[in-house]
Amino acid sequence: MKLSLKDITDDRRSGSSKIIEKALNYLENLDRKSQIEAAKEIANAHPSMTGLANIMKLVESYEIKEVRKIIEEMNENASKKLAEIVEGKSVVIISRSHIVESGLHRARKVFILRSEPGGEGVDAYKFLKEKIEAELVCDAEMGYAVMKCNAVVCGADAISKDGFVNKVGTLPLALTARHFNKPFYVVAPSYKAGRLRVVEPFEYIPADLATLITESGITDWQKVHSLIGFL
């Protein structure tokens, strides 16, 4: 089915990397002037997604195929770094992140929170259950899931040296992981670095609650902004 601009601006179930993918697919069929105008509209429709805003800004200076190459390489490398860390382990995830889901194929099992409001975890469960052992759990059962797992993983819509923004529910999940002494990883390519803006249904999570994984592997939060050489 052909994507419309409204499909992208109204998407509240996909993670930022998936929305970027949809946006680039849509934009590549437009003329140059329309690309720039639509890119601005897409970015404005998702104010918490700094990574999306950064990539839509790139559209003003680069051809879509060049932007796509940059993004795909960074996403793939971040997923590979995650796969190395979670191999053979049971993990808990929240909401949807294409980058996270792509890096879980070597995990032993994944517990997926429903991620209300929105329930994107149901979509993640349908996708992942075909690849690895998966269990869908209610958000209120996050304590049970964290006790059973070896690690907790999430994506991010935006990162900075001080922390990151992700779907509401991520902060209590991070605090639960700390309580049970389980490692908490946030996976985000460095193009998601920038100003943090929190709007519903997202929240801010301090950097000291999570270990950051970028396309370079485990990354010092204080070095986040120095990684961006193309913006």
15 in the Ramachandran plot: left (φ > 0), alpha (ψ -120 to 50) or beta? beta
Of 51, 46, 54, whose CA–CA distance to 214 is shortest?
51
Q: β-strand 133-137 against 109-113: which pairing, if any?
A: parallel
For every residue of 52-90, DSSP letters joined together read HHHHHHHTTTS-HHHHHHHHHHHHHHHHHHHHHHHTT-E
Q: In this structure, are residues 176 and 143 in contact, taking their beta carbons and an 8 Å threshold?
A: yes
Active site residues: 157
Residue among 129, 166, 205 at smallest CA distance from 17: 166
Residue the block writes with tokens 């759990």: 137
**Closest of 159, 179, 140 to residue 223, by C-alpha:** 159
